[in-house]
Amino acid sequence: MAVYALTGFSLVSLLSFGYLSWDWMKPSLVADVATDPMEKSLPPAFARPPHIIFILTDDQGYHDVGYHGSDIQTPTLDRLAAEGVKLENYYIQPICTPSRSQLITGRYQIHTGLQHSIIRPRQPNCLPLDQVTLPQKLQEAGYSTHMVGKWHLGFYKKECLPTRRGFDTFLGSLTGNVDYYTYDNCDGPGVCGYDLHEGEDVAWDQSGKYSTFLYAQRVSKILASHSPKEPIFIYVAFQAVHTPLQSPKEYIYRYRSMGNVARRKYAAMVTCMDEAVKNITWALKKYGYYDNSVIVFSTDNGGQTFSGGSNWPLRGRKGTYWEGGVRGIGFVHSPLIKHKRRTSWALVHITDWYPTLVSLARGNLSNVPGLDGYNVWPAISEGKESPRTEILHNIDPLYNHAKYGSLEDGFGIWNTAVQASIRVGEWKLLTGDPGYSDWIPPQTLTNFPGSWWNLERLTDGLRKSVWLFNITADPYERYDLSDQRPDVVRTLLMRLVHYNRTAIPVRYPAENPRAHPDFNGGAWGPWASEDEGEEWEDIGEPLKSRNKKKKCKICKLRSFFRKLNTRLMSNRI
């Protein structure tokens, strides 16, 4: 049996604080604010296709919203969620690119070739061009489509840019993380460039403006210049609260009593983002959109605990397949919801937004077969049962294989050294190396660096490669049932085998020195010509170019920087 050791707190003290009670999801007092009087006169049903605002936050931890019992102030999110439908069985992916790709395509990573890691700035890679995206389907349905914020789905060719993938306008960054004021991003020592774009041009004139403010202001301008009589889709992908930890001083001052510096800055960023959402909601009402609008709020992955985030009481963190990495904050706020002010335990995954939103827009899904998402609007609006019964969290054949995994441990049908995870009904299976597995309470009581204090740690099980949990009964993944229920393990392994047969080759090409910002005027941007293509082997590595490249100083440094970037990846994804 696993032995649990508690560092910094006793288990009894955690219970006394209420951390392990079932009250951790009780709404805060702010969430009980009375509904807006405007809502009383709203139409009972859709008179026309609704305006859709999809808000995605970056690295916001599961615990880091007021109605999950957080010490961080999020009055706007609390109220919107309380007046809408909270999604408490909602799943996302453990890192940035996978969640965004699945939102935009409605397909699992294994069906787009993006099942390994993220798309890095110097990789000749992007969301596959043969995929029909969510904004493209909404354009077909007559929507004006706009994106504000972080793209992170590749940009090596112009065809990969947001404005070529279905968005009429775009203001934001193309890479994974930038400075909130200067918009600089370094992809290794000496490989730095500016990354803020307006459409397909570099937005040099916007430097110095805090991105959370800038993006909210852009959404307001879009709404002000558009007619509420015409349907609009705005995808707001906030950079917040991804590192670097930067916030206007007035927000940090509110949390001056927090002892942990990283947590203090992080909390300030979350509250600032919450106010940005408030301004967006206010603009929807001011310009006449609100009555016929659907607001979807989602996080993109679990919080990064050593950067101030908290997923407590869930296990794990960003980049892992434990619940702390893949269970997200999600809610829908809309006057058009039939049964409001409730919590939904319907199983929902980020791929479900594609068919759900296209259906709301009265779009055509018949020409996009093979979607992995489901239309979950009846489950959200009317409280009906979710059509989804399982989720493939991922199968990553390139991730470091677990040392103690084997085909034998997988009943001869699955190599348990391979990193994979699946949820079927109430059961969740993990194989390979799922990632950092501790339970980390919020870091608010000390200024000790990092997140290695105040945690509950699993002290054995390091030789395992298979885990099984009943997530309904054990949402915190404390009781591994793989030894007691080999029948369930085998059943879920068969589902992994089934999905793996449908997977396409991994797209994870080597970095290209031509991507260096110095070759693009100091900014990150497309570097390959439109007629250039890439070929990939089944193992995910690109085939060697037929044209032998000339040697250069940058080329000689390429291998060195790739190795260095690998060491730094946990801080950059």
Q: What averages of pLDDT result for each successive group of 10 residues across the chain (573 residues)?
A: 38 35 31 34 62 98 97 97 98 98 98 98 97 98 98 98 98 97 96 98 98 98 98 98 97 94 96 98 98 98 95 97 98 98 98 98 94 98 98 97 95 98 98 92 53 48 87 97 98 98 97 97 94 53 33 40 44 47
Say if 160 falls within a structural domain.
Answer: yes
Residues 209 and 102 grouped into a single domain: yes
Residues 138 and 119 grouped into a single domain: yes
Among 423, 428, 361, smallest CA distance to 388 is for 423
The CATH number of the domain holding residue 490 is 3.30.1120.10
Q: Look at residue 290 and give its three-state secondary structure.
A: helix
Residues 108 and 257 grouped into a single domain: yes
Q: Which tokens belong to 6? A: 């508690």
pLDDT at 462: 63
Query: What is the count of structural domains for the chain?
Result: 2
Region of residue 524 (left: phi > 0; alpha: psi -120 to 50; beta: else)? beta
Residues 410 and 368 grouped into a single domain: no
Residues 412 and 383 grouped into a single domain: no
CB–CB of 174/155 below 8 Å? yes
b/e 164-195 (16+ beta carbons within 10 angstroms → b): bbbbbbbbbbbbbbbbbeebbbbbbeebbbbb
Say if 563 falls within a structural domain.
Answer: no
Say if 3 falls within a structural domain.
Answer: no
pLDDT at 6: 35
* Of 388, 409, 431, the domain-final residue: 388
Residues 351 and 411 grouped into a single domain: no
Domain membership of residue 365 as a residue range: 51-388
Instruction: Report d(CA 274, CA 57) in Å as an integer.
Output: 10
- 481 contacts: CB under 8 Å, gap ≥ 6: 468, 469, 470, 488
Please identify which of the residues 51, 63, 68, 96 carries the catalytic annotation: 96
β-strand partners of 458: 4
* Of 388, 411, 432, the domain-final residue: 388
Give catalytic status of residue 516 as yes or no: no
Q: Look at residue 268 and give its three-state secondary structure.
A: helix
Residues 190 and 259 grouped into a single domain: yes
Say if 554 falls within a structural domain.
Answer: no
Residues 185 and 68 grouped into a single domain: yes
* Of 504, 523, 539, the domain-final residue: 504
Give catalytic status of residue 555 as yes or no: no
pLDDT at 442: 77
Residues 320 and 424 grouped into a single domain: no
Instruction: Report d(CA 379, CA 422) in Å as an integer.
Output: 22
CB atoms within 10 A of CB 18: 13
Residues 359 and 465 grouped into a single domain: no
Q: What is the pTM of this model?
A: 0.86
Residues 203 and 320 grouped into a single domain: yes
Please give the C-alpha separations between residue 269 and each of 41, 173, 274, in angstroms, as whole numbers. 35, 18, 9
pLDDT at 458: 55
Residue found under tokens 């909390």: 267
Say if 39 falls within a structural domain.
Answer: no
Please identify which of the residues 63, 152, 349, 516 carries the catalytic annotation: 152
β-strand partners of 51: 293
Say if 472 falls within a structural domain.
Answer: yes
Say if 185 falls within a structural domain.
Answer: yes
Please give the C-alpha separations between residue 453 and each of 260, 439, 450, 477, in angstroms, as whole numbers. 11, 11, 8, 20
Residues 141 and 77 grouped into a single domain: yes
β-strand partners of 427: 424, 470
The CATH number of the domain holding residue 261 is 3.40.720.10
pLDDT at 455: 53
Say if 23 falls within a structural domain.
Answer: no
Burial class (CB in 10 A: 0-12, 13-18, 19+), 83: buried
